[in-house]
Amino acid sequence: MTEGSPRVLTIQDRAALPAGPLQSGHRSLQAGLRERVERQTHHPLGYVEQLYTFADRDRTARAGQHVISISYLGLTREAPADNVEGAWCDWYGYLPWEDHRRGAPPIITTTIAPKLLAWSRRDAQLWARCALNFGLDGQDWNEDLVLQRYELLFEAGLLPEAGAAAPVAGQAMLFDHRRILATAIARLRAKIKYRPVVFELMPPAFTLLQLQRCVEAIAGRLLHKPNFRRLMEQQELVEETGETSTETGGRPAKLFRFRRQVLAERAVAGTKLPLTRA
């Protein structure tokens, strides 16, 4: 997370996610992942969990090969990529229709909705699916449907990965890497509602506003400030450090830290975030 921007670590001129084959010297899948990412990007990973196995036959351009990829979601604090291979990128540059912190992105009404309407005009059920996923025709926006939206745009032939001649906005990625990214964002958006993984992205000391902005950046929508602070207090996820910060530009703000003992106090500790529009 950098200045309110959720970022993804990429390689190959920002067009791919770190990846590579499992080798005999790797003692486990996760160990192989960590070694591969660190070697490619010179950046160690923090929290890691297995995400999904991608095995569609047409997912790569390698003729005659059926490539299966076991993907992982890894969280870490950003540090400068010290080689030419790794680059940090704002994930909304790849999926711009997902950022609703300032309201619905114009791309939805000006580009995506008309193209989806033209594509589905003869199938009422198909249009209902489009409306549900993109919050059209009075439907509420559901931030968790990241993968469903990407796959719908792919199915409609509106992405360069699907061979679109005039694709909708958003930087393309090689093979199905943008689909993998969409899967990871969906997992993280769902996970921050019941597990305190967001603290893996925070510095050791932070203000409650910084924490709120981090959660909002991941969710792609705003939170109700009083409700958020009340919930942090009720959940006992943070504690004061006794220090303050003047970086906000106003009066000094209290600094907090994550109470890691909460993980031992509760078998399942979650933020239960009030994801409602401010």
- Name the amino acid, one letter, at 257: R
In this prediction the pTM is: 0.90
Q: Check the CA dihedral 73-133-115-218 and report its sign.
A: negative
The candidate with the shortest Cα–Cα distance to 10, out of 188, 216, 202, 178, is 178
- CATH class held by domain 194-265: mainly alpha
Domain extents in the chain = 7-91, 95-170, 194-265
Query: 């076991």: which residue's tokens?
Result: 70
pLDDT of residue 59: 67
> Could you read off the pLDDT of 16-25 as tens digits, one per residue?
999 888 888 8
pLDDT of residue 66: 80
> Could you read off the pLDDT of 154-167 as tens digits, one per residue?
999 999 999 888 88
- Given a cut of 60, is residue 136 above it in pLDDT? yes
As a whole number, mean pLDDT of residues 252-272 equals 75
Query: 């001129």: which residue's tokens?
Result: 13
> Could you read off the pLDDT of 59-101 as tens digits, one per residue?
665 556 788 899 999 998 877 655 557 789 999 999 999 999 9
- Given a cut of 70, is residue 277 above it in pLDDT? no
Are 178 and 161 in contact by the 8 Å Cβ rule? The answer is: yes
Residues with Cβ within 8 Å of residue 265, at least 6 apart in sequence: none
- Name the amino acid, one letter, at 212: Q
> Could you read off the pLDDT of 108-135 as tens digits, one per residue?
999 999 999 999 999 999 999 999 999 9
